[in-house]
Structure 1
Amino acid sequence: MKSDMNIPPIPPAASNPVRPGAAGGEVLKLLQPLEGLISPGQSAQAQVLSLKQGDAVFQLLLKLTLDSGRQTNVQVSSNQPLPLGTLLSVTQPSPASLAVSLQQALSSNASALTRLDPQQLPVGTLVQGKVLSTQVLAQAAGQPAVYRSLVTLLNSALSGSTLTVDSPRPLRVDSLLTAQVQGSQSLNFVPLSGRQDQLAITQQLAAQQSRQGSLDGLLNALQKLPPSESMPDALRASIDKLLSGLPTPQQLSNPATLSNALLNSGAFLEAKLLGGQLQNLAPDMKATLLRLIAQMVPGVPANPTFNPGVAASTQAQALPTFVRNALGMLGQVSAKPQPGGFPLPPRLLQRGEGEDSLENLLKLAAAAISRLQSHQLSSLEQSGRTADGSLLTTWQLEIPLRNAHDIVPLQVKFQREDPPEQGPEDKREHRESKDQLWRVELAFDLAPLGPLHVQAQLLRGNLSGQLWAQHSATAELIASQLGVLRQRLKDAGLSVTDLDCHQGIPPAHGHTPLEQRWVDETA
């Protein structure tokens, strides 16, 4: 849900008059009386360093520069908010107060922005800010309420500037907000929670890249473990159960087996836990890896330089501070950040001494969990609203297969695009655009075929697909069998509109998945 915010073209003081004090201007009350702060007949320059809204007044932190050059910070209360950075000339009529001239008080809001420069903030740019104050403006009887707020910007070239905005609803003081620039004096509010989530996902994805390792690295190491009397029986049983449960390509041709492999890939572990499905955790890949780590840890000698939980714990503690201090990162560019990518490239950890040691296996298991989490985070980052309002949902995951004596990771990505809700007339006029669109991507390296990448989409029962093989012989083999594949798809009740095979890899998209369509079925 979005709401409009306007930047008033005139200084706020015109509609929010200052209450005159005893000195013919605004009186700032010192929270702690100071005798002789400013000598009689002299003035000092004051700069507003911070602003905090109370129940009835505003608390300001001022930096005073006296005629002698000495500087000191004082806290005062004021009847009106003064933007950060405002410069004032103040005198001290009494030990408990400072006085500002009436003209200065009325023009103090000149320090706040009353328009946005389209060269610095083009239309569509996202800006983030922190709400310093909110006041309701006096309105004629029967008119809707208007709330005026001072917002300090946290990103873009205007970072640190104070912006004056009018909105139909009060903005909570000290809250963080994100808005999209609609014009020089118009903003659209974007719910902050989604931006915070996106920021956290982006940061987590970047951290996962250095920690993750391919699943086959761990599984191959487990498969080559020699018999050892020192290994606990429970740990050996868990390893044997994990390896024996890996499906083969032939088994995945069965729909029920494929469905179970997808559900137990680790991508849905948290959803199962939230749903109370504890009985379904045993075959889950991520749950199994976590169980392996728990069984390995007691047998690993104490090592202060390695703890698979330290990174996650440290990051969890630092995240709130990171969000507060770095929220402006997302607004430096208006485009949505690029996702983690598909397929994830293979990454094997360096092998050290004692490859069969529990400590080495523990590192490989922690890296494998990071791999699964990278897929989960990529799914979240590639989900959201498209430019036309459609809802795009992504599920990205990885299934390890047993192909003879090899472990082959199969990477899978599903995307479902649900069209935006429309009225009855729109439904009649744009009936075709209301259908649900599905996309599927597969990536695997199966000997002796080599690396393969498959993309397909399904719309209104029409299937189109593209296949890429890096080996020329494989590309020729697949091309010769496309007729058979087409017929099998038709026998399954699908109408095949396009089916091709190419040598190489799919072209990199120059835009985000939230905007792409591989084949436009409505063209």
Structure 2
Amino acid sequence: MAIGSVPPVIPEAPVPVGHPGRPFTRPGGAETGGGGSAGPAVPDVSATLPSATPLDRVVAAALARQDGLARLFAGVAALARSGDDLPSALQAALSRLTGTALRDPPDAAALRAAVARFGLFHEALALAGALRASGDMKLILAELRAALSAFLAEVPPRPAPAPERQRDRLPPPRPGQLPPAQAPDSGFPDEHDLAVLARRLIDETDHALARIALHQTSVLEEAAARGDGARPLAMSLEIPIAGAAGVSLAAVRIERDDHADGDGRGAPGDPTFRVEIAFAVEPLGPIHARIGLMAGRRVVAGLWCEDPAAVAPLEAEVATLRTDLEAQGLDVGAVEIHIGRPPPLPKPQAQPPHRVDVAL
């Protein structure tokens, strides 16, 4: 079978999409009250679509701003290290964001909370009145942006920061593909001026909010395009992980696997799920995982190590992994470790072009 996935923890929901990002220069425009600098001039691509819907416009705006979250976490760490002169509200907002990163080896409850916290369910939680208790990432980022803006409103005006050198944006999520893992960002520019650093963090916060919005809109798109419900259900997200070198982002994709053949266990028509995970932490380097959850609570897993030196330490943990999974009532099948990257998955049937691809 095409190794399946594991998310009964999460309601069945669809997956993200996108288009490779174009390089951009971080802005150094004129200073405004408490906000960040204006982003680079980007044409309104939604205007080129035959009939732009509100969702088209949301996607187009998010594509113009999105970038990875690792840089935001690096900037937050830099500002937090800058001293005790920050307002208490800003210090609290910084702590809330850094507190979203997993630190200890997570159990099932911690992973479930990390998935729920990413922001995919932000509006549903808000409607249910449960947003504040959820520790939702979009809420945390909005509060951080407000705290940064309030801080900047209190400091004397000064020249805008010099623009950073041009660099490539992280590609946005794409349909049928696992987003790239994000290693800790070590390139955040050194800056002793707290106001300059705060302005740059407002930009990074906007980039992060736009990226989460693209994950959300892709779920909505696939739900609408599914029609009779025959299309696989999928979703993707990113989970921050704290390490010695900083915060990295694990990419996670969860989907119903209609290509799985099953093994005759369980009731006919029982769904098979596949979860794909990519992360990059030292000393293992980039790791890719595919985990399948089949009927009868049967689970199979494959791990791919880009660094051959990571194989031995992972193999040493396979027996423990089996024991832990069996303790959860799972029937553990193959657990295999490979060198390299996982092979491509079967391509889905032809689908109508996604608005993100059309927009770009």
**TM-score normalised by the shorter chain: which range applies?**
0.5 to 0.7
After TM superposition, the structure 1 = structure 2 runs for residues 5-404 of structure 1, keeping only pairs within 5 Å, are: 200=55, 205=59, 208-225=62-79, 226-228=81-83, 231-250=86-105, 252-253=106-107, 255-281=108-134, 283-300=135-152, 339=175, 341-344=177-180, 346=182, 354=191, 356=194, 357-383=197-223, 390-404=230-244
User: Residue type of the partner of 1:449?
Assistant: L
Which of 275, 293, 311 aligns to 1:458? It is 293
Please tell me whether the aligned partners of residues 376 and 397 of structure 1 are also in contact (alpha carbons under 8 angstroms): no
After TM superposition, the structure 1 stretch with the greater mean CA deviation from structure 2, 504-513 or 403-412, is: 504-513
User: Where does residue 19 of structure 2 map in the other structure?
Assistant: none
Q: Determine helix, strand or coil for the equivalent of 2:175.
A: coil
Question: Identity of counterpart residues, as a percentage?
Answer: 27
1:339/1:512 contact within 8 Å kept: no
The CA distance in 2 between the partners of 1:261 and 1:462, in whole Å, is: 24
Q: What is the CA distance between 1:455 and its match in structure 2?
A: 1.0
Structure-1 residue corresponding to 2:167? none
Which deviations, in whole Å up to 9, do the C-alpha atoms of 1:374-421 show, x marking residues without a partner? 3323434455777995353223221212224521212222224699xx
TM-score by length of 2: 0.63
Give the whole-Å Cα distance in 2 for the aligned partners of 1:298 and 1:457: 47
Check whether the contact 1:265–1:284 (CA below 8 A) recurs between aligned residues: yes
Amino acid at match of 1:223: A
Distance 1:459 1:388 in 2: 23
In 1, Cα distance between equivalents of 2:189 and 2:64: 17
**Which protein has greater RCO, CA pairs closer than 8 Å, 6+ apart?**
2
Q: How far apart, CA to CA, are the structure 2 residues paired with 1:478 and 1:229?
A: 41
SS at match of 1:276: coil
Deviation at 1:450, TM superposition (A): 0.7
CA contact (8 A) 2:181 2:251 kept: no
Q: Which has the larger radius of gyration?
A: 1
Q: Secondary structure at the match of 1:392?
A: coil
Aligned AA (2:125)? K
Pick closer, same or farther for the CA change 1:375–1:388 going to 2, 3 Å.
Answer: closer
Q: Which amino acid aligns with 2:289?
A: V
CA contact 2:96–2:140 (8 Å) conserved in 1: no
Once the two structures are superposed, residues 49-70 of structure 1 have per-residue CA deviations (whole angstroms, 9 ceiling, x without a partner) of xxxxxxxxxxxxxxxxxxxxxx
Q: Match of 1:489, SS?
A: helix
| 3-state SS, counterpart of residue 343 of structure 1 | coil
Whose strand proportion is higher, 1 or 2? 1
Match of 1:436, SS state, is: coil
Q: Counterpart of 1:212 in structure 2: which amino acid?
A: Q
Query: Contact (CA 8 Å) 1:378, 1:396: kept in 2 or not?
Result: no
Please state whether the residue corresponding to 2:123 is helix, strand or coil.
helix
Q: 1:446 aligns with which of 276, 281, 291?
A: 281
Contact 1:218 1:361 in 2 (8 A): yes
The size of the alignment, in residue pairs, is 275
Task: Determine which structure has the larger helix proportion and give its number.
Answer: 2
Name the aligned partner's letter for residue 490 of structure 1. Answer: E
TM norm structure 1 = 0.45
Q: Which residue of 2 aligns with 1:326?
A: none
Does the Cα contact within 8 Å between 1:272 and 1:278 map onto a contact in 2? yes
- 2:250 is equivalent to residue 414 of structure 1: no
The answer as to whether partners of 2:120 and 2:216 remain within 8 angstroms in 1 is yes
- Separation in 2 of the partners of 1:221 and 1:438? 36
Larger CA deviation: 449-458 vs 405-414 = 405-414
Task: State how far apart, in whole Å, the 2-side matches of 1:340 and 1:352 are.
Answer: 34
How far apart, in 1, do the equivalents of 2:256 and 2:176 lie? 18
Kept after mapping to 1: 8 A contact 2:290/2:302: yes
Aligned to 1:428: none
Instruction: Could you tell me which runs of 5 or more consecutive residues in structure 1 were left unpaired when the two chains were aligned.
Output: 1-158, 160-175, 177-194, 307-336, 420-430, 516-523
